[in-house]
Amino acid sequence: MLLNDFYTIHLLRQVEETLWATHLRLNPKHRLYEGHFPEVPVLPGVCMLQLIKESSEAILDCPLTYATIKSCKFLAMINPTETTDLDLQIKLTPSSEGYYSLEAEGKSLNNPFIKLKATLTTRTYEI
């Protein structure tokens, strides 16, 4: 979990029945940026996916896992020393028992940086 050390949620509000708005603040001094990358830090794509998943968990108040990722477009790089505030718009629609269709868009200073369509599940899988 990255919440509270890597970033904090400053706003989580319901806009419509299945649509939520989230405002996040990155911690630009986090150790992860020392290796990604020391001179010009960049928010890793996998962390963007984690921010969306953890925000969805806060919305639904339960642990979630990505079941499928239908499409994921990384549209811009985020340098946390220049941009710490991120806005997510998350649409979560129940699709079948234990599954949710997810559509998410992330913006920084009104510029999109990620668009995602996926399925999240409350189910756990054993290997």
Q: List the chain domain ranges.
A: 7-121
Give 41: exposed, middle or buried? Use CB within 10 Å, 0-12, 13-18, 19+.
buried
In this predicted model, what pLDDT tens digit does every residue of 24-47 receive, in sequence order?
999 999 988 888 777 889 999 999
Domain boundaries 7-121, CATH class:
alpha beta
pLDDT at 22 over 80: yes
In this predicted model, what pLDDT tens digit does every residue of 77-100 receive, in sequence order?
999 999 999 999 999 999 989 999
The 8-class DSSP code of residue 12 comes to: E
Q: Which amino acid does the sequence have at 103?
A: E
Q: Which amino acid does the sequence have at 54?
A: E
Say which residues have a Cβ less than 8 Å from residue 74's Cβ, sequence separation at least 6.
45, 48, 113, 114
pTM of the model: 0.93
